[in-house]
């Protein structure tokens, strides 16, 4: 099974094209040696992959190859999530502090305010 199809089938990416784009951009790595993988890489049972999904750095291990896209409750039969708990805690903390609050009645931010917000958040 192709890597992009596998990542889509186990619900790590919403569409197969997004999974293929992630592979092409170097966001999917083979954990053993850290080399980026192509979307056409043949998935083997027992391989471990490192994925960067948004800000989350996820580690997975292949248990089995699904025949097609599986439902969310069945995903655990096909992958083992090896992501450290600290990574999930870091993301949870980032979400907690990334909440943007704007007082009622102020309307949309101006172009200047939006640029200041983006600079604060991403730099």
Domain over 3-122 is classified CATH 3.30.565.10: no
pLDDT at 104: 85
Domain-wise residue ranges, the chain? 3-122
Question: Are 59 and 19 in contact, with CB atoms under 8 Å apart?
Answer: no
**Residue ranges of the alpha helices (H) in the chain?**
3-9, 16-24, 85-97, 111-122
pLDDT at 99: 64
pTM of the full structure: 0.76
pLDDT tens sequence across 3-23: 999 999 999 999 999 999 999
């Amino acid at each position: 099974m192709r890597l992009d199809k596998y990542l889509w089938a186990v619900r790590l990416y919403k569409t197969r094209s997004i999974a293929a784009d992630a592979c092409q951009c170097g966001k999917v790595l083979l954990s053993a040696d850290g080399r980026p993988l192509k979307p056409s890489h043949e998935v083997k049972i027992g391989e471990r992959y490192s994925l960067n999904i948004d800000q989350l750095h996820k580690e997975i291990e292949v248990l089995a190859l699904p025949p097609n896209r599986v439902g969310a409750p069945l995903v655990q039969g096909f992958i083992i999530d090896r992501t450290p708990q600290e990574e999930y805690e870091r993301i949870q903390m980032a979400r907690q502090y990334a909440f943007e609050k704007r007082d009622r009645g102020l309307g949309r931010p101006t172009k200047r305010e939006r640029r200041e917000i983006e600079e604060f958040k991403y730099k």
